[in-house]
Chains A and B, each alone.
Chain A
């Protein structure tokens, strides 16, 4: 075997009590695509930050081309030839593509524009160098990030969950780009928790579980089942079967909704229609940034419609377009937002006070004063029933891990016994065990007759949960597709807008 390009030995990193990496060893060969596989919270992102110099390890050594390195900053990592594409991009929305590149690469603007175009041609990464970044789609932004990295001539390119923002069709194109890069002499560290992708493209895979390496294999020699066991330490949990039922009351109905937001960086919505009935789960698929947050806020009441827009949004049969969030909740609506800290919960407040946030109508206040005893009892209930790992009800929400806070918020909203439950990204950042518990709970509630709306980026999750799926693309929503009659590729076509283009061509 050739000498490794990058070699880690005994890398450890802790954040307070959390040991994110413990004694990690890793060797990345030159000209290879190397996967770091692990579920949410396994320590993948921390490891990448250590390699890229964003953070420094508590212990262990990093060797680069045989030489011991101590990287103090990303700039230093870039000078050594290490580039990174982040999962949540580090682009500046108010600047143009070429201005974003100027921030990282020296050179005259005209030269940079030429180089952007040349790289685009060579590696299949076409993008307009003079476009404002806020006007680009998520896929285009990823291309900009990759181009920006490539312009520093890296020998190692780190990609953090690059496919999570792409529709299935674009994944193939990205892989083609990565193969061309490898053949051109660049090694790639590919972070993912998607087994099929890793088997499709990677030469080598290092598997992390709870901060430790649990395997170092050639992924093509192992089936998905093997890899999964190394990743989660047990077999995948079985999904709960949904009882067939339908025809319940319409609990949420949106009819031909158009919305132009105040925020110039937000996505306008046009002609949105959907219906959620009691005993049904409707899923909204789509790549984030296509209007999900705008639609969520319109359904939750955080954004209200202007007075003249009547008969657009109905909840439990009432026109609620101009209702605020509290008024909608009074009708029996509950909501788990995609951002937990700062929206679903107040980080600096205790769980008891966070219960009060939406559960106050359950008798947690009396004569305008907070009834602490009742709020504490409610919180203890929620912690027990939803298996929230926390020192106690007085712990601050901000001190909980993402997964535990999600369990708390989901629990709090379900305990409100809503008629209509809306969950955005139910299992983001939640470990597999907790994620499957949340999904089983949602299916059970559906079987009991609750109307449930789910927005998710994870197609597998939607296929596991939903009776119907609609796809959000560029602020428009597709017609509902019956999940069991639909293949993921079909949803994928809607996700990149190919379906509507084809429909227009036919018409």
Chain B
């Protein structure tokens, strides 16, 4: 069964070395995820960057799932858009999968059940392999048939794409360390696939992988693992959470690393993790622990944030450190829990009733998930307020190649302004009094001093000394001080990172979070096409002064984000009083991660409309 190459009038097959997109169409629960990950890691081990993304259903077994791996020696880790090779293992999605292949691309499928020629396209290369037939002949156990079929297609692909089998064998050895008896059958399945492909399929294909040295010291990790680890390094001791996709693995990573690094000599835990009954309780526990001086965090997603908002408002007004990792997904409620969006920007920035504003950190990749989660714990203590780490499903649940985690051994935790028993002997204590001019008051922890420093914690009905008051003057003093504190926050949060264009330009672009890699690639492509744009990657809200300066310095600023309503643009307009006409929306919100092609196309069209096209073409 050899490869059917396109007929004479068809498109030329795509030729590419270390630069293509391969997509696996599978059925979830079939064990394909680990085989696909093995495939991606093997390419990484060959020194070629790869950027995989799971596009999966909210289901345990039987529904379609895809794994898209972008092989990119140039290191473009965002989604490109389009598929060069489809590994079609799911009959349910056959038609759509087939249609998605780029002209000149490749289709690999299980040919056990013959398909009529009309089932294929004439402009692609079709490669059939009777995977089920081979598996059924070799294995009798149904589960083995399923699992080894996955490894077998990895073997066949390794021949077609000219990958090094030794690398895959090494990875299997690492994967099954401690369960050594599983290594041999996996290696056997791998070679069954390789042998068939070597013998029956035309190889290697015009798209292939070649050893390179472009991975270096980079690590391959998902953002949720990184956030959980960041919470361990940042000194969180209390984690209260409620399971919700796509944030669950943040708490699970925290558990895993705590079990390894946070057990004292007596075997006791230097941490407490509670799976709460709901998000109303998980945030309540975090608020209680923060009030009592422990570093505490929760991880959730949009629907959880909605349930937490009353407490978030109380924490804002009562000035209690709280850290919330929000792994954003498509809303509402059951919504699109396995799809990605940046659609909680407004709901988090202004969470709760009354005049509230909150600190948001905007990590671009797992490395920043680690750093921002650790930083959030410091900022929450310093500012005595809720701090959100706004990641999303794309960063949170996909493994991403990024710079290794780093920790400065000299770094200590910033526990903020907490008065000790000694301080209370000598200093005046006004819980809600601005004594340092930064809007941040001093606080005390319960149990500190026998006669001084206790106070009754309330939302707003109190004076600077925490005495009950419903006076308007006291209220205004307090909420104005909170605004002043928010201005202080702008100087403490991670500052935005500019990427100036190669040439002087009137155009700017603002972006943040998981949009980052696709944006950087788009900027490269746009520059090659003569469109030069200065870029600014936001890393936090409140916006530091440099954000306003950036917007003022440009005639038109694109704001690229992954939600329908241009939420960051709204926040910029609202907070910095920007003329809305100046901020041009570039929005991607279908639930899949934004692609470089989408950004390039959208910005190119807008630039042509605005600066090139004749006036009448605009109508």
Query: Is B truly associated with A?
Result: no
Q: Chain A interface (Cβ within 8 Å of chain B)?
A: none
Q: Chain B interface (Cβ within 8 Å of chain A)?
A: none
